[in-house]
Structures are given as structure tokens and as C-alpha cells.
């Protein structure tokens, strides 16, 4: 929710949290003009007032790529002219599953979900709010504000390449945002809430997504704050939405899920390694830029592993040893794949690492949710 739900935003966890860029009813800044002109790479002025184009990367834009990658919104995508396929690409469907899973965990943690038509239907609408609508809003907004970085790192993406106009991008941002907020309000009415908690969670997640990507705050400029905001959007916010929909959102759950968001911070760092060139050029202090790749990769795995070990310890002292052991069993394969792929080369093996290790992390989230429901 990346931002929430980034999600309610979500705001930005890739894979699930595979994509880095992963970001309330706000008024778009004046730079979001509704013109039809196509975007071009900005020019930079030299001291002699000479205009030169921002240097493009050494690699040429990808002319041929995978149709599957294009639909999922990940690198290696086929160049498309169909506007609806381009719109879908901007929402990065590959980032939706963590939000959907977060709703599942929240519903499980509530202890009040039943396999009835009504409950299943409510959960599906909550997943649509968190994934396609508010995460789609977050990802489109993030790509808009990252167009200069993408012009360096991925010039073939829809916005910097001019495959979609400014007017079309801005319209998509507003439609997805208002659609997500509308579904949140509907869910509050459906659940009979006296206080519209889902609507306010959606607003909060959407605001978090906005300040994550947009100036003047642009949280993503700071590797620590930005990545934690992204982790919270992909883990905490959808969990809170699922639990609030079927039960009561309690302070201990809020604290526990915010702790789990530190693991989300680690996952977000994974996606920073492939953007080092553009981040450095535009002054974004991602952790690989600030600390160097060698140190950053250890910060990444440390955040992921220490967080889960801490949660396992919490479950153990809470008198739930079997859940704690199950969580420990799910941490071990993650550590194995960290050494097998990520720590060897975080750029070359990022996709393999996330595909092999992160399923165990999301299963760990469900184990924790089930533990808290008893």
C-alpha cells in the first residue's frame, strides 16, 4: 500500500519488492502540465551557456525484448506501441504480489476471516485497492519523477523514450489514485466501520508514496529513510488494511509489522544496485552510492536476516515456540541463497536471488501472522 497499499501505496517493495521505485489526494506540482508534448531528455547548460544533451548510456535502447517482461514492467521489456500495454507496464504488475500477500497476512492475523462469499469478496476488493490501484499509482508516479534517472539507466522505458505523453501519464496517476481511495471508502462501508480506517490508511499510504518520489522531500534521496518507507509500504500498510478490514488493528501488531519493515528496507536495497550510475549522477544517496557496493550488500542481508531472527525471538518469548521454529526454518534457505547469488554479485544475480529467496520471506510473514492470531 508503496507504497501503500505504496499500496495503500505502496508506496515500493520489487519482486515484490523487486522494483525499487517502487509512491493522498494531492495536487500535482506545476511541472505536471497537461500538455501533449512528448518527453525528451533535458539539456544541461555548460558554463559557456552552450547547450548539450545529457549523455546517454553506452548501451543502446533495447529494440527487442520479452513481451512477458513488458507486461510485468521489468527490465528487458519488448518495445510496445499499444497504449494500454504501456499503461500496464507503468504500473509494474510484478510489484503487486507483496501487497496482495500483505492483505492475506492481515486477514489471517485478524483471526476473523472466514471462507464465506462475503469475506472472500471483501478480501479481493482490498487486494485490488492495494495492488493494481494504489501500487499502480505509486509506480506510475515514481516513474514520472524518475524520468531523468531513467534517461540515464533505462532510456527505453515508456516515459523517457516518449512512448507515452505527459497528459496520458498524469491522467493515469489521478485515475489510479482516486480509484484506490474510492475502493477504500467502499470497504469501510461494506465492513460497517464507524471510523473509515481503510480510507485513512489509503490516504496515508498515498501521501507516503508521493513524498517518497516527489520533491521537495523526495525521501528516496536518502537511502535509509527512503528504503524504510518503501518497506513499510509493502509490508505494514497492506497488513494493516487486511487486519482492519476483518478485525481490529492493535498497537502490538503495528509495532511488529513496522519491525518487519526493516526487512523490507533490506529488500529495497537489492534494487538500488542496478541504479547506481543514475543515482550518483543525480545526487541520490542510495546505500550503494553512500557506502559502496561491498558494504551495502552486507547492510542489505543484515537488515533482512536480523529482522526475521528478532521476530522469531519475539514469538519464542511469547510462548509460541513452534511458530518461532517454523520461522527459523524459513530463514535458513534465504541465507543460503544470499551467499549463492546476492553476495557474489548483487547486480548480476539480483533477479535470481529475489526469485529464490523472497518466497521464504513472504511465507515467514504468513507464519508470523498466524502466530499473532492465536
- Whole-angstrom Cα distance, residue 108 to residue 371? 9
274-302: average pLDDT: 87
Residue 15 pLDDT > 60, yes or no? no
Is position 263 within any domain? yes
Residue 41 domain flag: no
More confident residue, 319 or 43: 319
What per-residue confidence (pLDDT) applies to 272? 86
Indicate if the alpha-carbon torsion angle 61, 67, 68, 70 is positive or negative.
positive
Strands 51-53 and 43-45: antiparallel
As a whole-number percent, the residues of the chain with pLDDT over 90 amount to 59
Q: Measure the CA dihedral 124/126/127/130, to 10°.
A: 160
Count of structural domains, the chain: 1
In a domain, residue 49? The reply is no
Report CA Rg, the chain.
Answer: 20
Asked whether the predicted pLDDT for residue 87 surpasses 70, the reply is: yes
Tell me if 218 is assigned to some domain.
yes
- Please give the Cα distance from 292 to 116 (Å, whole number): 51
Q: Is the pLDDT of residue 40 over 90?
A: no
Please check whether residue 90 lies inside any domain of the structure. yes
The C-alpha angle 27, 99, 31, rounded to 5 degrees, equals 20
| Full-model pTM | 0.77
CA pair distance 159, 83, nearest whole angstrom: 12
What is the chain's mean pLDDT, rounded? 83
* pLDDT tens-digit series, residues 315-358: 999 999 999 999 999 999 999 999 999 999 998 998 899 889 98
What is the bridge-based pairing of β-strands 43-45 and 9-10? unpaired
> What gap in Å lies between CA 213 and CA 46, rounded to an integer?
28
Average pLDDT of 118-134?
97
| Any domain includes 26 | yes
Domain assignment of residue 358, given as a range: 3-32+64-372
Q: Could you give the residue ranges of the DSSP H alpha helices within 19-165?
A: 67-72, 83-91, 96-110, 117-128, 136-145, 147-153, 158-161
Measured CA to CA, the distance from residue 72 to residue 78 in angstroms comes to 11
Above 60 in pLDDT, residue 269?
Answer: yes
Specify the pLDDT at position 220: 85
Q: Domain for residue 118, yes or no? A: yes
Residue range 226-241, pLDDT digits in tens: 889 988 998 999 999 9
Amino acid at each position: 500500500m508503496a507504497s501503500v497499499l505504496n499500496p495503500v501505496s505502496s508506496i515500493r517493495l520489487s519482486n515484490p519488492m523487486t522494483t525499487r521505485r517502487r509512491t493522498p489526494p494531492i495536487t500535482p506540482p506545476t511541472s505536471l502540465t497537461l500538455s501533449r508534448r512528448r518527453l525528451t531528455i533535458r539539456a544541461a547548460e555548460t558554463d559557456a551557456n552552450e547547450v548539450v544533451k545529457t549523455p546517454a548510456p553506452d548501451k543502446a535502447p533495447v529494440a527487442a525484448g520479452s513481451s512477458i517482461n513488458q507486461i510485468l514492467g521489468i527490465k528487458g521489456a519488448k518495445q510496445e506501441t499499444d497504449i494500454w500495454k504501456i499503461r500496464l507496464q507503468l504500473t509494474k504488475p510484478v510489484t503487486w504480489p507483496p501487497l496482495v500477500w500483505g492483505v492475506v497476512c492481515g486477514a489471517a492475523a485478524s483471526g476473523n476471516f472466514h471462507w464465506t462469499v462475503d469475506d472472500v469478496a471483501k478480501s479481493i476488493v482490498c487486494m485490488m485497492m492495494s495492488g493494481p490501484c494504489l501500487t499502480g499509482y505509486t509506480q506510475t508516479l515514481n516513474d514520472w519523477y524518475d524520468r531523468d534517472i531513467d534517461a540515464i539507466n533505462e532510456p527505453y522505458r515508456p516515459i523517457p523514450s516518449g512512448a507515452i505523453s505527459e497528459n496520458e501519464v498524469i491522467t493515469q496517476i489521478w485515475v489510479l489514485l482516486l480509484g484506490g481511495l474510492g475502493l477504500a471508502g467502499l470497504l469501510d462501508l461494506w465492513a460497517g466501520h464507524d471510523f473509515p480506517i481503510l480510507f485513512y490508511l489509503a490516504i496515508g499510504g498515498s501521501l507516503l508514496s508521493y513524498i517518497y518520489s516527489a520533491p521537495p522531500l523526495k525521501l528516496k534521496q536518502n537511502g535509509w529513510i527512503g528504503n524504510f518507507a518503501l518497506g513499510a509500504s509493502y509490508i505494514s500498510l497492506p497488513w494493516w488494511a487486511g487486519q482492519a478490514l476483518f478485525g481490529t488493528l492493535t498497537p502490538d501488531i503495528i509495532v511488529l509489522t513496522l519491525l518487519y519493515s526493516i526487512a523490507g528496507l533490506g529488500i529495497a536495497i537489492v534494487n538500488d544496485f542496478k541504479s547506481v550510475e543514475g543515482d550518483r549522477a543525480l545526487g541520490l544517496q542510495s546505500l550503494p552510492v553512500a557506502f559502496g557496493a561491498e558494504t551495502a550488500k552486507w547492510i542489505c542481508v543484515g537488515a533482512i536476516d536480523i529482522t526475521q531472527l528478532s521476530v522469531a525471538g519475539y514469538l519464542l518469548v511469547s510462548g509460541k515456540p513452534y511458530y518461532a521454529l517454523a520461522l527459523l526454518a524459513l530463514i535458513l534457505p534465504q541465507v543460503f541463497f544470499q551467499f549463492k547469488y546476492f553476495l557474489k554479485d548483487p547486480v548480476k544475480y539480483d533477479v535470481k536471488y529475489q526469485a529464490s529467496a523472497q518466497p521464504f520471506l513472504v511465507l515467514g510473514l504468513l507464519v508470523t501472522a498466524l502466530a499473532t492470531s492465536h
